[in-house]
Chains A and B, each alone.
Chain A
Amino acid sequence: MMTAEFQPRRRAILAAGLGVAGLALAGCAGTGNKAAAGGGPVELNLVWWGDANRAKVTEAALRVFESKNPGITVKTEYQDSGPYADKLATRFAGGNPPDVLNMANRSLLEYAQRGALADLKSHPDVLKLDSVPDVVLSRGTVEGKLYGIATGVTTIGMVVNKTITDQAGVSIPDDKSWTWQDFARFSEQVTKKTGGKVYGTGYDVSTETGPILLARQRGEDFYTKDNKLGVSEETMRDWFQFSVDLRAAGGYPPAGFFEQIGGSAAQSYLAKGTIASQIIPINNYKAFNEAAGGNVVLLRMPGETESKRRGYSADPSMLWSMAAKSKHPKEAAKLLDFLTNDVDGASLTLTQRGVPINPNVAAAITPKLSGDDKKFVDFMADIQKDELPPAYVYPKGASVVADTLKQVATEVEFGRMTPADAARQFMDKSNAAINK
Chain B
Amino acid sequence: MSVLTKHPAAPPAASEVPLRPPRRRRNGAAPKKKQRAGYLFLLPWFVGMAFTVIPFFASLYLAFTDYNLFNEPTWVGLANFQDMLQDERLWQSLKVTFIYTFVSVPISLAAALVVALMLNRGLRGLAVYRSVYYLPSLLGGSVAVVMLWRYIFGNDGIVNGFLGMFGIDGPAWVTDPEFSLSTLIVLNIWTFGSPMVIFLAGLRQVPAMYYEAAAIDGASKWRQFRSITVPLISPIIFFNLIMQLIGSFQTFTQGYVMSGGTGGPADSTLFYNLYLYQKGFTEFEMGYASAMAWVLLMIIAVFTAINFIASKFWVFYDS
Contacts and interface: CB of A to CB of B under 8 A. Distances in A.
Contacts of B231: none
Interface string A393-411: 0000001100100110011
Nearest to A110: B284
Contacts of B261: 82-83, 86
Given A255-B172, A414-B176, A414-B178, 10 more contacts: A1-B8, A5-B13, A16-B49, A89-B281, A111-B70, A114-B69, A114-B71, A257-B155, A259-B150, A399-B282
Contact of B266 (A12, A19, A93, A411): A411
Interface residues of A, number: 43
Contacts of B53: 16, 20
A16 B47 CA distance: 7
B141 interface: no
Given A19-B49, A414-B265, A256 B43 contact: no
Contacts, number: 109
A330 to B, nearest CB: 23
Given A89-B69, A407-B264, A2 B12 contact: yes
B38 to A, nearest CB: 9
Contacts of B46: 12, 15-16, 18-19
A190 interface: no
B9 A416 contact: no
Contacts of A259: 150, 154-155, 172, 174-175
B43 A19 contact: yes
Contacts of B283: 399-400
Nearest to A262: B260
A317 to B, nearest CB: 21
A183 B35 CA distance: 79
A412 to B, nearest CB: 9
Interface size class of B (residues with CB under 8 A): 35 or more
B49 A93 contact: no
Contacts of B9: 1-2, 4-5
28 contacts: A1-B8, A5-B9, A15-B39, A15-B46, A16-B49, A16-B53, A20-B53, A20-B54, A23-B47, A82-B261, A89-B281, A93-B69, A93-B281, A93-B286, A110-B284, A111-B70, A114-B70, A114-B71, A116-B70, A259-B150, A259-B155, A399-B282, A399-B283, A403-B282, A407-B262, A410-B264, A411-B177, A414-B265
Interface of B: 8-9, 11-13, 35, 39, 42-43, 46-47, 49-50, 53-54, 68-71, 150, 154-155, 171-172, 174-178, 260-262, 264-267, 278, 281-284, 286, 308
Interface of A: 1-2, 4-5, 8, 11-12, 15-16, 18-20, 23, 82-83, 85-86, 89-90, 92-93, 110-111, 114-116, 255-261, 399-400, 403, 406-407, 410-411, 413-414, 416
A205 to B, nearest CB: 13
Contacts of A116: 70
Contacts of A414: 176-178, 265-266
A321 to B, nearest CB: 13
Going nearest first, the 3 A-B pairs with the smallest beta carbon separation are A256-B172, A93-B69, A114-B70
A8 B39 CA distance: 10
B267 A407 contact: yes
Main secondary structure of the interface of A (DSSP, over half): helix
A92 B11 CA distance: 43
Contact of A82 (B150, B260, B308): B260
Nearest to A8: B35
A4 B10 CA distance: 10
Contacts of B172: 255-257, 259
A89 B261 CA distance: 14
